[in-house]
Amino acid sequence: MSVRKLKPITPGQRFRVVNGYDALTTDKPEKSLLAPKKRSGGRNNQGKMTMRYKGGGHKKRYRIIDFKRDKQGIPATVATIEYDPNRTAFIALLNYQDGEKRYVIAQNGLQVGQNIVSGSNIAPEIGNSMPLSDIPLGTIISCIELRPGQGAVMARSAGSFAQLMARDGKFATVKLPSGEVRLVLMSCMATIGAVSNSDHQLLVGGKAGRSRWLGRRPRTRPVVMNPVDHPMGGGEGKSSGGHPRSRKGLPAKGYRTRSKTKASNKYIVERRKK
């Protein structure tokens, strides 16, 4: 994978850094795994705006991704590595031996023609999905379940990965991308390897229009608002705005909002780094 810096032949391309897309093998998605994607523009069922700064953007179709990897013991061949407009990671099209096709999140180093499989008692190779109880300690993993059978919810974005640290009783200790160390049930599934497209963090849009294509509208800084609109608004001239806080008045930097009585607190061994 690589990134390319464009020549500044227009103002919008002067700072633009684009993905080389070396890993991709096709630009035509599998039609049977596409679904329509409705956009709300940040409005609820009454038509009222509940999320600001959303709307517009290019039309997309959703790619149906297999996060559960529940087709166990049946080998599949990687047919293509594809771009997905709905996520930062690349996706891989799998052709199973029984004829079924499924999309999965592609791991770094996954190659077309490679065979991958999910289930217990299999080799811990890139792309294979298996329970945490079967994965060797110290292995780099991604696409991790939080509850058995739920489907992958952690470490799914481009370049992210977690590490299996230890096992004790029915729990495995996993170090997550945020730095948090957490207990996860050993029957939960995880995929071997880091998520693909690790160069995503190096990309630069180069112009405001690119944010609009992605469905992001211009954001107003709280400091320039009026006091009626935000706690940091108001004042004469360029006032600093006071203590940084949210629109509802909660402090924004370092203030802990997590409940002390939250049920999952007992599973967190070490909180994420600030």
Q: Count the helices and strands in the chain (H runs, E runs).
A: 1, 17
Is residue 160 a part of any domain in this protein?
no
pLDDT of residue 1: 64
Domain with 85, as residue range(s), is: 3-133+189-201
pLDDT of residue 213: 97
Residue 82 near residue 71, CB atoms below 8 Å = no
Helical H segments across the chain, by residue range: 208-213
Same domain, 112 and 243: no
pLDDT in tens, 225-254: 999 999 999 999 888 788 999 999 999 998
Is residue 176 a part of any domain in this protein?
no
Same domain, 78 and 194: yes
Is residue 97 a part of any domain in this protein?
yes
Is residue 207 a part of any domain in this protein?
no
Q: Structure pTM? A: 0.93
Same domain, 129 and 239: no
pLDDT of residue 248: 93
Spell out, as residue ranges, where the chain has pLDDT lower than 50: none
Is residue 43 a part of any domain in this protein?
yes
Q: DSSP class of residue 120? A: S
Q: What is the CATH number of the domain that holds 252?
A: 4.10.950.10
Same domain, 110 and 232: no
Same domain, 247 and 194: no
Total count of domains within the chain: 2
Same domain, 194 and 77: yes
Same domain, 253 and 193: no
pLDDT of residue 238: 86
Query: Where does residue 7 rank: exposed (0-12), middle (13-18), buried (19+ CB within 10 A)?
Result: exposed
Mean pLDDT of the chain: 95
Same domain, 15 and 128: yes
Is residue 211 a part of any domain in this protein?
no
Tokens of 126: 């890139």
Same domain, 234 and 193: no
pLDDT in tens, 175-216: 999 999 999 999 999 999 999 999 999 999 999 999 999 999
Is residue 215 a part of any domain in this protein?
no
Q: Which residues pair with 166 in a beta bridge?
A: 173
Q: What is the CATH number of the domain that holds 22?
A: 2.40.50.140
- State the Rg of the chain over Cα: 22
* Distance (Å, whole) CA 155 – CA 144: 7
Strands (E), 151-265: 152-154, 162-168, 171-175, 181-185, 189-192
Is residue 114 a part of any domain in this protein?
yes
